[in-house]
Amino acid sequence: MNIEEYIAERLRKEGVRRFFGIPGGPSIPYMEAFRKTGIEFILTSHEASAAVMADVTARLTGVTGVCHATFGPGAVNLASGTGGALLDRSPVLALTSEMPDSWLGRTAQMNIDHQALFHPLTKATFRLSQANAAEVISRSLELANEEYPGPVHIGLPSDLAGTDARPFTILTGTGTGADDSQQSDSFAKAAVLIASSKRAVIAAGLTAMRTGAGASLLKFLDDHGVPVVVTPMARGIIPDDHPCFAGVLFHALSDRLERLLSEADLVIGLGYDPVEYNYESWIPDVPLVHFDTRPHDLRIRGALEIVSASGSWFEHLESMKGSAEMMRLAYEIRSEMIRELHARDTGFGPVTALSVLREELPAGAVVTADVGSHLHLLGQFWDVMTGRLIMTNGWSSMGFGLPAAVAAAMAGGSEAVVCITGDGGFLMHAGEIITARRYGLKVITVVLSDGELNLIKVKQSWREVSPYGIQVCNGPLFGAGSFLGVDVIRVTDAGEMRTAVRKSLKSGSSTIIEAAIDPSQYGDLIVKI
């Protein structure tokens, strides 16, 4: 087997069925080998989108995502999306074409050091050779999927294709563990804290959501009345109407949770990944017991860390006592937050637009959320029923929403796929509209159009600075009934919004809904951090 055939066969056995990117000349042998093996190449409009699509594909399918770019500028573009897979914890292989050995370190068109470029953005970076190809591919797949999962970069020298892949003995991963003596000491101290606590609060995070701990959490809560707060990317791990659910940290109106947290005598971090929101930003002056799948760089005095598979976390919590008083307080705070939100359901602002959208979408819809002021509302108040809310919060890159929705539509299995974005985020990856059209995908893109980078405007107001450098457009964003061959429906009130959503759901193709909203509500809802 030659190199490209070996890689294709290996990835096919891993379950890979698509890889995303923009090709260069050296990519052709790999594309052809992948095609013959049954792995489809998905041409994107931008390399950063390709990395986002690989990331989201991995989240939805459980199979390692794969993306590709060519030399220099292609690799740089891919890198910006690869960072998302690192900080949002998705297993991805990022492949780039590289100069042959004879040109390393020399002046040449498009020639930069890809290993140096990807080093801070990945778990590891390798340069493939005829001698190490088999070993590198296997080790890269291991590394990408070890806790925490993340991206691995593999450089493909442009003269490598066509050479034979040499056999080797597969290496096994060493993994990352915790010192046994420290673990035993933590177990004993945590057991005392948990058993003696009377007003505990659970903070569930990205790792709990990613590892499927939600079912065990709900079963535990059936017997223990303990309030639960979640991070944005753990949205949906506990239903909105569950009596233990208090709210979402960091997002809209989350300062109301301070009343609950100030009454706590213990915080249980359950798969809490500080990449979303550091403990120090919100935790009260009480003991912390942090459950995770790998050691973390906690800098909180006295914090206890329990490192194990998520399935064993709840064994340590069995002695925990519930508190009727804390449960009542959690319910009061959550009810207050919802009332405050509904009080702003006037005119045609983001609250109204999103409320109409949630009412009209099927329960199993997959919704991708871009970065911006609207994300703070979605993270706190979007009711995740049987579908998914997919966002970036570790990396938090604008433009995430549209390529994420394209990947979700390709993955299939959902009743509807909807991207919710702002006009600024949409413009960053607007070219992926043509990608959706080319592959016959149905994606409903809702652009909350306010003509500005509103989140920056809100932050400028906190500093008492006049709005500056944030104007995206004047008047309608599209100014036409179609964009890149996809129908655009402009709406200016709740009735038009409802009609547009219903029409889009019935359509057999993609639709863009430009919701011309009044953004003034954001300033009252977004919490100053």
Q: Each residue's pLDDT tens digit in the chain (529 positions)?
A: 899 999 999 999 999 999 999 999 999 999 999 999 999 999 999 999 999 999 999 999 999 999 999 999 999 999 999 999 999 999 999 999 998 887 677 777 778 899 999 999 999 999 999 999 999 999 999 999 999 999 999 999 999 999 988 765 444 433 444 455 556 778 899 999 999 999 999 999 999 999 999 999 999 999 999 999 999 999 999 999 999 999 999 999 999 999 999 999 999 999 999 999 999 999 999 999 999 999 988 889 889 999 999 999 999 999 999 999 999 999 999 999 999 999 988 899 999 999 999 999 999 999 999 999 999 999 999 999 889 999 999 999 999 999 999 999 999 999 899 999 999 999 999 999 999 999 999 999 999 999 999 999 999 999 999 999 999 999 999 999 999 999 999 999 999 999 999 999 999 999 999 999 999 999 999 998 7
Rounded CA separation 431/45 (Å) = 5
Phi and psi at 195, nearest 5°, equal -70, -30
pTM, entire model: 0.94
Does residue 409 form part of some domain?
yes
Smallest CA-to-CA distance from 403 within 378, 368, 379, 376 is with 368
- CA quadruple 16, 17, 22, 26: dihedral sign: positive
Domain match, 428 and 481 both = yes
From 284, 302, 336, the end of a domain falls on 336
Does residue 175 form part of some domain?
no
CATH number at residue 88: 3.40.50.970
Kindly report the CA angle at 79 between 74 and 84, in degrees rounded to 5? 140
With tokens 């433009």, the residue in question is 399
**What's at 526, amino acid-wise?**
I
CATH number at residue 190: 3.40.50.1220
> What is the distance of C-alpha 193 from the center of its chain?
33
Rounded CA separation 488/500 (Å) = 10
Domain match, 310 and 365 both = no
- CA quadruple 59, 273, 120, 424: dihedral sign: positive
**What's at 203, amino acid-wise?**
A
Query: Which domain, by its residues, includes 133?
Result: 3-157
Domain match, 366 and 265 both = no
Domain match, 245 and 350 both = no
> What does the block give as tokens for 297?
């760089």
CB distance 264 to 203 below 8 Å = no
Which residues contact residue 105 at a Cβ distance below 8 angstroms, ignoring those fewer than 6 apart? none
Domain match, 12 and 107 both = yes
Task: For strands 18-21 and 40-43, give the pairing.
Answer: parallel
Rounded CA separation 347/446 (Å) = 18
With tokens 């998705």, the residue in question is 90
Looking at the DSSP bridge assignments, the partners of residue 18 are 40
| pLDDT at position 170 | 46
Rounded CA separation 260/330 (Å) = 6
Domain match, 114 and 51 both = yes
**What's at 83, amino acid-wise?**
G
Rounded CA separation 114/94 (Å) = 11
Residue 62, classed as helix, strand or coil, is: coil
Domain match, 267 and 387 both = no
Rounded CA separation 12/20 (Å) = 15
Does residue 241 form part of some domain?
yes
| pLDDT at position 104 | 79
Smallest CA-to-CA distance from 46 within 511, 473, 397, 440 is with 397
Question: Which element (helix H / strand E) includes 248?
Answer: strand 245-248
CB distance 142 to 64 below 8 Å = no
Domain match, 318 and 348 both = no
Does residue 124 form part of some domain?
yes
- CA quadruple 215, 220, 223, 229: dihedral sign: negative
Does residue 469 form part of some domain?
yes
Length of the chain: 529
Task: Count CB atoms within 10 A of the CB of residue 417.
Answer: 28
Does residue 472 form part of some domain?
yes
Rounded CA separation 270/319 (Å) = 16
DSSP 132: T
DSSP 2: B
Does residue 168 form part of some domain?
no
Task: For strands 482-483 and 486-491, give the pairing.
Answer: antiparallel
Kindly report the CA angle at 36 between 32 and 39, in degrees rounded to 5? 85
Smallest CA-to-CA distance from 121 within 153, 146, 157, 155 is with 153
| pLDDT at position 385 | 87
Domain match, 328 and 358 both = no
Rounded to 10°, the helix 47-61/401-411 angle is: 50
Rounded CA separation 288/303 (Å) = 5
Rounded CA separation 444/16 (Å) = 26
From 293, 308, 336, the end of a domain falls on 336
Q: Total domain count for the chain?
A: 3
Does residue 280 form part of some domain?
yes
Domain match, 348 and 324 both = no
CB distance 264 to 201 below 8 Å = yes
Rounded CA separation 340/356 (Å) = 17
Domain match, 43 and 151 both = yes
| pLDDT at position 1 | 86
From 317, 336, 355, the end of a domain falls on 336
- CA quadruple 387, 41, 3, 78: dihedral sign: negative
Domain match, 320 and 401 both = no
> What does the block give as tokens for 143?
């590394």
